Amino acid sequence: MNTTARFNDPTEIFECQSPSAPSNISVSNWSVLRECGQEPLQFYWFRAAVRFYNALLCSDSSTLAKVLKADIAMSAINKKCWSAEFLDALHGLERSGDFQHRVRTF
């Protein structure tokens, strides 16, 4: 995530224009959200995706394990599957290569 970037998504713009956010600011929107005790929407999505992935790994269901392995295999071909989007979300993180390797070698 680029912490100096301005938000372009209408939902993010609305979030920054909430009554708790100061108006007419010249700092990045990320700092404003942090000052207001809020995280960007992408953070909540990413955290939920990691929890979902961890729940799949910890599940005792062999069917879920097969589905996850098939989705990970499909991510190399189809960029619209869940695993491909999850792997794409790992870009920009420190040690993202390690995380992507561990997901692909599940």
- The string of pLDDT tens digits covering residues 22-47 is 555 555 666 776 777 776 777 788 88
% the chain with pLDDT above 70: 68
Report pLDDT for 63.
94
Q: Residue 51 corresponds to which amino acid?
A: R
C-beta separation of 86 from 79 below 8 A: no
Q: How far apart are CA 58 and CA 47, in angstroms?
A: 16
Three-state DSSP class for residue 103: helix
Indicate whether 5 pLDDT > 60.
Answer: no
Residue 66: C-alpha distances to residues 63, 73, 83 (Å) = 5, 11, 13
Name the residue with higher pLDDT: 10 or 17: 10
Confidence bin at 70 (pLDDT 50/70/90): very high
Three-state DSSP class for residue 77: coil
